[in-house]
Structure 1
């Protein structure tokens, strides 16, 4: 008789199911036509009803089953009761069947941290650039991103009415990444992906220093990492402060799971 899966595997399996529910919430809010937009620090830092509902759903669902895990979400929301319809109790059976990497088998709940970006690419969500939007759930241990789940609520939306929307990608160090086809940029070209709404001279100079064949400007850290793993870009360059751990944890885990790297470059003054 098989034993109970390791805590981290059960957490990833739950995060997968929760991310899929989150994608459904984002689509439902969009269909309603009332996005409930508020500005947090300015026109480029927005929050919508989808941000609020998705964060409540993810945090409440995971807390219910993993009460000792630290869960940190991007949005500063008041403590209040969460509607039952937002709670997800399911788990991905596919993930539960995967073998846990040996170095993570004995991790305890209280040693894990979950970083949540309920709607990565909120500005793009409000502008109808729906393929830029992702839901990010990252799992960290000892300060290192070890697993991540990315849901694309509007994947396939360009196919029009009747298309099946949404997909969920996930990855874990020592296991690999799933839910997409790993590709490299064709012809060995240097194609850079970078920010579409937070650029400045330093970012532009760093991008051009790479002498790219092409530059893809898109929203959302999760979306940019998807550009990398699916062979649409070879590097994501963002030489500026601004990314937080809820932006990077899930994408970094998936990128590292397929052999990619996140690099911090420090330039010393002359």
Structure 2
């Protein structure tokens, strides 16, 4: 069955905005938020962090996206994959999720696993959420009302794509709340440098990316940033979202609203942007965003450039999408398919992409970088288990301009790491 790409993309944007509403509601009620955190264990845990957490917001957002996309396009929900499992353990045997008490009382009260999901009615969803929320029906009703509320967004540019796409070619990666640590611990009063936040709630993103099941290449994606600016009077947060698609010669992005993508090729659309970015590609103008945990060798090699540090893989990719930096580079294997699919799709719509860093470096040294080693999203890592099955084992480089990528790789390849 063929679907209108504009319908799919619109549904993704709506799902992301509803998810952002959930994230804001959970965070803004501090008493509620303290009940939401559960530490990940075993194969779910990201080895990069000493402690890794999943929150009810994470799980609920993921389940809402599955539910809403499946209701709009029946059958697609079976091909929506994400970072989180949908189980919480109620270690109080009916008293709700309270991490500080879970360990204390686990011996006396048998654990009850609760599968979080979206029920047929708002009332039933509230009852389910109340089991996780320590019987707090007021909070459960608030979340259930957001889950079942229809989101209305006016975005005429979403209607510009007239192409169809077979439903059975699509699959979806979801990162319901990227940079969970910043979501839990991040502050609202962080200051940016050249528009880039090193930490804080601004580094939190919701990522929904669609890829081709056969080729594994990204097709379309949405990055939602729930926490952009806080109203000082109401203490309520406003957010923003970005979307893009690249499919069969058609590319369109929310950052390029003046372009009628339905009537122009990807090359035509990108020419002005490409020329502008090439003119800025001198070493003095190049900028890179990396993680504070990046290797000292990489930091040293890039020290001649404008170097920024930021939290969150999704947010660092967003910095590239927005043009705040030329490149996001990560040499380690601590990101996953759900971190990259959405921003990869948007960057492709802008003429860029995301490549495997280690493979790119190897080809650069061999003088064989004509064909870029783009990340793909349909193939697990051989022999890996748990979340590592979907790790980007060679690291990554996200870029908007090919000349910027070439310059960065030339710099890295000239240094013995």
Q: Tell me which moved more, 123-132 or 227-236.
A: 227-236
Q: Tell me which moved more, 75-84 or 251-260.
A: 75-84
Kindly indicate whether residue 98 of structure 2 is the aligned counterpart of residue 27 of structure 1.
Answer: no
How far residue 17 of structure 1 moved from its aligned partner, in angstroms, is 0.6
Query: Corresponding residue for 2:162?
Result: 100
Residues 95 and 113 of structure 1: CA distance in aligned 2, closer, same or farther (over 3 Å): farther
Residues 38 and 80 of structure 1: CA distance in aligned 2, closer, same or farther (over 3 Å): closer
Kindly indicate whether residue 177 of structure 2 is the aligned counterpart of residue 119 of structure 1.
Answer: yes
1:163-209 per-position Cα deviation (integer Å, ceiling 9, x unaligned): 7601111001123211589896978522211124xx253xx322432
Residues 56 and 180 of structure 1: CA distance in aligned 2, closer, same or farther (over 3 Å): farther
Gaps of 5+ in 1: none
Distance 2:256 2:182 in 1: 22
Kindly indicate whether residue 295 of structure 2 is the aligned counterpart of residue 224 of structure 1.
Answer: no
The normalised TM-score by structure 1 is: 0.83
Q: Is the 8 A contact 1:22 1:54 kept in 2?
A: yes
Distance 1:73 1:130 in 2: 21
Distance 1:208 1:100 in 2: 47
Residues 250 and 22 of structure 1: CA distance in aligned 2, closer, same or farther (over 3 Å): same
Q: Is the 8 A contact 2:3 2:167 kept in 1?
A: no
Distance 2:302 2:173 in 1: 31
The normalised TM-score by structure 2 is: 0.56
Query: Corresponding residue for 2:202?
Result: 131
Distance 1:87 1:61 in 2: 9
Distance 1:168 1:136 in 2: 10
1:97-119 per-position Cα deviation (integer Å, ceiling 9, x unaligned): 22234xxx2x3222210110000
Kindly indicate whether residue 243 of structure 2 is the aligned counterpart of residue 170 of structure 1.
Answer: yes
How far residue 74 of structure 1 moved from its aligned partner, in angstroms, is 0.9
Kindly indicate whether residue 152 of structure 2 is the aligned counterpart of residue 56 of structure 1.
Answer: no
Residues 66 and 95 of structure 1: CA distance in aligned 2, closer, same or farther (over 3 Å): farther
Query: Corresponding residue for 2:39?
Result: 39
How far residue 49 of structure 1 moved from its aligned partner, in angstroms, is 2.0
Describe the SS at the equivalent of 2:227.
coil
Distance 1:230 1:96 in 2: 19
Query: Corresponding residue for 1:242?
Result: 334
Length, aligned pairs only? 257
How far residue 137 of structure 1 moved from its aligned partner, in angstroms, is 0.5
How far residue 149 of structure 1 moved from its aligned partner, in angstroms, is 0.5
Max Rg structure: 2
Describe the SS at the equivalent of 2:330.
coil
TM-align CA RMSD: 2.9
